[in-house]
Structure 1
Amino acid sequence: MKYDIRLLTKAADDLLRKVTNPRHRKILINYRRHAILEVCGRYEEILAEDLTVENPDYLMYVGGAPVPYKGRDRVEALYGSMVKTNICVMMFENELLRVDDTGFSTRVTFHIFMPAAIAIHFGAPIEAHQLDEMVIQTTDRIMVWDYNEDCKLTGENIWVGGASYRICPPDEVITIEECNRILMPLIDKVPKPG
């Protein structure tokens, strides 16, 4: 079954239909825009001054160990490597999203599309004859994103649970090009409350 990439922003869209607080809406709109740009491989736009502070501070917990990404150069390198290795296309499922004056938190299942040759480095049980396949990595994550007084992203804190992997049939693969074709026309179609 091929994921409907338009559902990437479902939790944010559902909340935007309910939230009327202007600050909370700005944070959710920022997050929604960030998510779309990320899966489209457009990280330069994520780091633009209208969305993200000049020196963001990311902290990712993988296997219990913190991995910091401090400053624009380090965060930009992270996003750039995701595009270069073809692991930026992801789908969210069962997202539970909350927003407040300081940012948002979410609990979500991530499905990340990646080449098997890359997945093997994350611990995927890939056999030699599968190296040219695409894989879906599934993890549960908890994310807390912080925003400044101007509703710009200052940092991400992400806790990543254990991963499972499955070979993705070719007809289920979602590409960066598809994400751009399907999602970019929706980027400014923000749901209104009510």
Structure 2
Amino acid sequence: MSRFDITRTNIAVERLIETTQDPRHLYLLHAYNRHRYLEMAGRYEEIFAPDMTVAHPVYHFNMLGETLTLEGAEAVKGVYAEWTASHQCIFYVESEKLAVSDDMIVSTSIMLQQTPGNVLAASGVDVDPEATYLVKSAEHMIWPYENGLLVGEDVWEYDATQRDVIALDPSEVLTAEQSGRLLAPLIKPLPAVNPFTSS
């Protein structure tokens, strides 16, 4: 049995949804929850629906000693497509704390991303290129929103001392297809009414 359960990756989000009363904050939390599940399920194209994401999102990453800016939907889709094909769309969290306002969601967590050994080896990490690993990092994220639509993501590793590479037993490795089946019951539509645009 695996040590990791992808159906619990968003548990902190779902708990906050249960206790949030403000309709705008609740809407953003549902959008955040849906986005993350779609990403982990390999259904990234759905993230770019006009009721979820602006036409020209901008993502900033400062992770694992590298910085990257992605401008525009096609650039972001390219990364999501690569992650899905290599099964790097699989994420787990050890803990997550969240804050939400009308304009953004802020998250801090210990995140673990499934990563093939050949990807790590190509970046200079001493691992078995035939194995699969979890890359553990301490992350802050800011997701800005405008009228309930995601504007982008700002993601950075705030404490490199937390970084670790954890070998997975082959029985613990998930494919994007397996993840998609596990997460399908948890992927909910957005609320019918967007409180940012409804009168």
Equivalent-residue separation in structure 1 for 2:121 and 2:65 (angstroms):
20
Where 1:107 maps in the other structure, the secondary structure is: strand
Where 1:41 maps in the other structure, the secondary structure is: coil
Please give the residue correspondences for 1:1-194 in structure 2 after superposition, counting only pairs within 5 Å: 1-63=2-64, 66-126=67-127, 130-149=128-147, 151-160=148-157, 161-162=159-160, 163-188=163-188
Equivalent-residue separation in structure 1 for 2:26 and 2:70 (angstroms):
27
Q: TM-score, normalised by structure 1?
A: 0.89
Count of aligned pairs? 186
Is the Cα contact below 8 Å between 1:116 and 1:134 reproduced in 2? yes
Residues 65 and 90 of structure 1: is their aligned pair in 2 closer, same or farther, counting only changes over 3 Å? closer
Q: CA deviation at 1:141?
A: 0.6
Q: CA deviation at 1:47?
A: 1.2
Q: CA deviation at 1:177?
A: 1.9
Equivalent-residue separation in structure 2 for 1:18 and 1:122 (angstroms):
42
Deviates more, 1:113-122 or 1:34-43: 113-122
Is the Cα contact below 8 Å between 1:124 and 1:165 reproduced in 2? no
Give every structure 1 segment of 4 or more consecutive aligned residues whose post-TM-superposition deviation is greater than 6 Å. Answer: none
TM-superposition CA deviations, 1:119-149 (whole Å, max 9, x none)? 22344321xxx22111111111100000002
Where 1:118 maps in the other structure, the secondary structure is: helix
Where 2:151 maps in the other structure, the secondary structure is: strand
Q: CA deviation at 1:46?
A: 0.9
Where 2:29 maps in the other structure, the secondary structure is: helix
Is the Cα contact below 8 Å between 1:85 and 1:118 reproduced in 2? no
Equivalent-residue separation in structure 1 for 2:103 and 2:167 (angstroms):
39
Is the Cα contact below 8 Å between 2:6 and 2:90 reproduced in 1? no
Equivalent-residue separation in structure 2 for 1:65 and 1:183 (angstroms):
30
**Any gaps of 5 or more consecutive residues in structure 1?**
none
Equivalent-residue separation in structure 2 for 1:36 and 1:181 (angstroms):
11
Equivalent-residue separation in structure 2 for 1:123 and 1:18 (angstroms):
44
Where 2:140 maps in the other structure, the secondary structure is: strand
Q: TM-score, normalised by structure 2?
A: 0.87
**Any gaps of 5 or more consecutive residues in structure 2?**
191-199
Equivalent-residue separation in structure 2 for 1:77 and 1:140 (angstroms):
24
Equivalent-residue separation in structure 2 for 1:167 and 1:174 (angstroms):
13
Where 1:2 maps in the other structure, the secondary structure is: coil
**CA-based RMSD:** 1.8
Where 1:124 maps in the other structure, the secondary structure is: coil
